[in-house]
Amino acid sequence: MMTENMVAKGISKFQALFRGKVTREGEYKRAKMGADILCPFLSSPPSVITAILQHANGKLGKYSILYDLGCGDGQVLIGVAAATGAKCIGVDISDFLCATARRKSLEASVGSLVEVWRCDLSTFSFNFDRDGTPTAVFAFLVPSCLQVLSKGLFKTLPKGTLLFLYKFPLPLQDGWTPFAEATVDDAVKQGSLATLFCYLV
């Protein structure tokens, strides 16, 4: 069984990959292969953004805040910001991916709405007084990481926060039950389908 200590070590290993030990080209290739990485980078398909907007039921707008935990190249941040005008905050451990997300948000003319923070999810915490209360949180993370977050970080979310998880659900035994499950494209296998799990804290 995966323990919190094992997950922390996995995250540290993932972090080490982005400290000059691989080239930028190799980073993308290695991440997509999932080699030795706890949470490999895969860009979320556009259908995921569409499903988020549909199941947010109008709650994402100009005065809303969406977090993307493990935001990668900023695909979800940019899509939601462009569609709704919401403030979108991304967190990622890779300096290169953070820079890529910032650049892409500027190219998409939503740079004023998107913030990207370089941060380790194993130590990340929300600061509601400083950053505002999140309306929604999105994550595309592997089950071992979600298991830890379900007992920690996600428990700190205010009641009423929307939580969208792509491909992998939260453990039912921890009391998490989705209010909806949306069928979307699979980022891993082209032509296949995956699920967006929608929760209300």
Q: What's the mean pLDDT in 68-84?
A: 95
How much is the pLDDT for 105?
A: 96
Q: Which residues contact 193 (CB under 8 A, 6 or more apart)?
A: 183, 184, 185, 186
Q: What's the mean pLDDT in 71-94?
A: 94
Q: What's the mean pLDDT in 158-163?
A: 96
Domain that holds residue 115: 4-200
CATH of residue 93's domain is 3.40.50.150
pLDDT digit string (tens) for 165-197?
A: 999 998 876 788 999 999 999 887 888 999 999
How much is the pLDDT for 14?
A: 37
Residue 1 has pLDDT above 50, yes or no: no
Token pair recorded at residue 143? 């089950």
Q: What's the mean pLDDT in 96-112?
A: 94
Q: What's the mean pLDDT in 68-81?
A: 94
Token pair recorded at residue 16? 């080490």
In a 13 Å sphere around the CA of 187, the CA atoms on its Cβ side amount to 24
The whole-chain average pLDDT of the chain stands at: 82
pTM of the model as a whole: 0.80
Number of domains in the chain: 1
In a 13 Å sphere around the CA of 114, the CA atoms on its Cβ side amount to 31
- pLDDT bin (cut points 50, 70, 90) of residue 104 is very high
Residue 13 has pLDDT above 80, yes or no: no
Token pair recorded at residue 182? 């949306």
Q: What's the mean pLDDT in 67-76?
A: 94
Residue 21 has pLDDT above 50, yes or no: no
Asked if 165 and 154 touch (Cβ cutoff 8 Å), the reply is no
> Torsion over CA of 139, 160, 180 and 138, rounded to 10 degrees?
-10
**What's the sign of the alpha-carbon dihedral 41, 37, 124, 194?**
positive
Which has more confidence, 172 or 128? 128
How much is the pLDDT for 24?
A: 47
- pLDDT bin (cut points 50, 70, 90) of residue 101 is very high
